[in-house]
Structure 1
């Protein structure tokens, strides 16, 4: 029987109190990773993380641009939560009817 890999993402100002080898509801923690955002990000960085085109991202983040019109730069601590919230609200709403 093959083991399955499950990925859980947690965001917090302080690290979670999880250690390698801990048991969580029958699963064992085998890896811990952290991602640190750069001070400023561009559209290329954002397109790798969000399923949107450069044009769509540029339009939606126009108010958050702190770079120039030629080189658009954004504070990831502001735009990442904004985009995640936007994606969550867009999922499952269009074209579905409850019968």
Structure 2
């Protein structure tokens, strides 16, 4: 029988009180990772994290641009929650299978 890997993502102001080796509902914690955002990010950084093209990201984030017209830079603390929320709000008729 193979073991399966589950990934849980938590965002908070302070780190969670979880230690390596802890048992949570029958599962063992084997790794903890921290992702820190840089001060300003460009479209290449965003395309790695979101399934949208550069043109679509540029159009959606036009109001959040803090760089010039040549180099488009964005504050990740504003842009990432906006894109996560925007991906969930798909409109249109659901697929009929």
TM-score for both structures, normalised by structure 1: 0.92
Unaligned runs of 5+ in 2: none
Query: Which of 85, 92, 95 pairs up with 1:94?
Result: 92
Mapping for residues 60-71 of structure 1, pairs under 5 Å: 60-71=60-71
* Residue deviations 1:6-31 (CA, integer Å, cap 9, x gap): 01111111111111111111100000
1:97 shift after superposition: 7.0
Aligned residues: 96
What's the secondary structure of 1:47's corresponding residue? helix
1:88 shift after superposition: 1.3
Mapping for residues 1-99 of structure 1, pairs under 5 Å: 1-90=1-90, 93-96=91-94
Unaligned runs of 5+ in 1: none
